Amino acid sequence: MKKVLEYVLASVALAGASCSNSHNLNPVSGTVTYKGKPAAGAVVFFQRQGVDPMNEHLIMGIVQEDGSFSLVCGPYGAGAPPGEYDVLIEWKQDRNQPKGLAAKTHDRLKGRYADAKHPRLHAAVKTETNHLPPFELTD
């Protein structure tokens, strides 16, 4: 988990590098469920395949109460550039928990979906509006 946090912090520092150069952000939305129920509060990270994450931008979305999420590319707007992505999901915050406490809690998924070296989920972003198949998480 600590490695994912370090990755996120490093990515935030570089967030503008690729997103600002990308004139082609495509809307991306989807849903995340855990054992059939919405994973409200989980964070979904998209990492472009085949590139050094330290030289890429942060693309992420937060799962809403109904299980839906939409991706944002740093301060450059909604969406993601086209390409093949590894998908990482971390779920630290319960929807009833104050936001400031999220960093002090453990990943409810126990890191199973947050391993950047062995990602379990993948997605393709096309040059169009993207409605991804659901990410259905289990133990």
Q: Per-residue pLDDT for the chain (139 aa), expressed as one digit of tens each?
A: 444 444 444 444 444 445 655 558 999 999 999 999 999 999 999 999 988 878 788 999 999 999 999 999 988 899 999 999 999 999 996 656 555 555 567 899 999 999 999 999 999 999 999 999 999 999 8
Domains of the chain, each with CATH number or no CATH: 2-137 (2.60.40.10)
**C-alpha of 91 from chain center:** 11
What's phi and psi for 3, nearest 5 deg? -65, -40
pLDDT at 64: 98
In angstroms, the CA 91 to CA 18 distance is 26
Residue 1, C-beta contacts closer than 8 angstroms, at least 6 positions apart: 90, 106, 107, 111, 114
What pLDDT is recorded for position 53? Answer: 78
